[in-house]
Structure 1
């Protein structure tokens, strides 16, 4: 595909802002004349990710062609069409796609956007259409209605959760259910009727909840992830504890923050090795050196799994009758973190790692991490532009 113009990039930003999932294709002059386009890698990935079509399972030849309804958007009107997905007998059965009538709406090397909604392909010429003008128009038009409908569907669960949070907030300050640093989150989940468990999955229908006190500038939890023990010199959290831990009361523990910027009091630091896509924890003791490893792919996967969609909920803390109370006031709604930024933010010390390991008086080793955390200023660097909602 050719390089996108600035105008086309701006139109993509409008679609992204409205959470429209899409892929792009560039019809050539030959393709428009012959009514044929290659289903490129990005197109195939989009179709598979949306469970629309998988070319790898499709047999070759005309009889195995698959047709879908399609709608071509011109702005003020739409044209009903069909999409043809097939693999020819020739040329190794390379995947093909075509939208009937596309030649009437696209010139060679225009960029065409493809999305899928209401059981139909929705097609519009990104190069020619005034996307921002149509979406923001005071006069209703089919493209505007499509994007608003997609946005509503994409946010359906978020709006449901937001309504629940506003009901909780309207009841005023809520007494903490436990006396602990984590009480701000546990109290909210209890009020929402969400089971408190240690699952790695998001808290509410795919949305992760992260609550914090507004009078603190503490780092915010991203996710917990143990190292890849098969790649690491140390093979367990217990080995880390035995090497770097210290006595505290009845416990032997290692509670510390590790950063890529400097070494902590235990002599520990993080190091990124982008050549082999690993995050490495290192000791200043040359006899130990590098002792645990995380693959960046695994960390990226955990970030996407945990924070595909997140509500960061700010609470006002107060003490009433000797008990901490929370008034939940504000939500920052983020989606789809930029995984490449994760590496940069680790390297800059904006994302850090906390060890939370201890051996209690009974000799049992408990590990609550390793916990990856982000400084408040890093939220806007890790996630695309977010939405903010007042709860009261």
Structure 2
């Protein structure tokens, strides 16, 4: 066994997280794998992915999905634009094979540390994830989140149910995930186990133990539960509304304005959809004035700059870029803060093209980009009665308003006498 040794400073910056979600989850019922069932209107797996991305120390996330679950997964992550979320990998026939597939999928990324987490544990906190990372950074080869066993444990006869004795619970812990490893160590252990035909390990920590690595415990949390049954889903769905009611939430509203001039062309992009026209809109990206205004409005709710700050027109990579990625990015930034969209409203100001025939398609596309229900998106249009640059058909303007809900933050006022 290799003895523990701390990473040199700055040498453990690449942290990958594998989310295991390739199972069928049949015990949860409903005809849909449990990871795609919803709690409080949000798929379990999406909550898990968002929890992983909420930890800024996680450099990339790869989700392991079932071979036939591509459509379910695409629906689940609609609107998530965090660049750390890499394309999913396909799982295997067993959990052990699934994790090995995920480890191999990280070959090009070559992380220093890899975390393995259950897709059905959607309430893992950034604190638990960070503690797992810290265990490896400080010199351990493998670590698992765990909590002390608090219930009295009984050993019983499997057939009759008769109690055979009471198990001493001192020193016993209930294992959770994430489980953390040095990437090179756990990949080598899994490859060796596969080559030797060993496929009965119940988790990755057991693979690491078999390979000769000491596994340490890191603090888990009672809220980091694993969803297993239909009753788990019903209970958590019922509790989600109560949980949000108990949280100290605040409402924020922000407005934004954008305008783009016309240039020669044969169509415009508005609200994420192409609309035929005798001219095009001029801009560094696709010049979607609607999505640009919405992006600025969403970013403003979290005081996070504007579209030009995050996607500067001086950067050639955004030349001709579709603006849906800008809005999805802004919404993802909001969600990383624990926020959610209450309502989006946009007013388009132009003489032509006519917006009415495209309004509902535009609403649906904006809702899809933002991963929010259609009834939370409003699109309106007006002319300027032939006045001004829009009246002269020199361009199109858009005014957007975003209303969001965010966890309330303590107000910290500067000390008296402080100067900005």
TM-score of the two chains, using structure 2 as the length reference:
0.31
TM-score of the two chains, using structure 1 as the length reference:
0.32
Compare the two structures and name the one with the higher strand fraction: 1
Where relative contact order (Cα < 8 A, 6+ residues apart) is larger, the structure is: 2
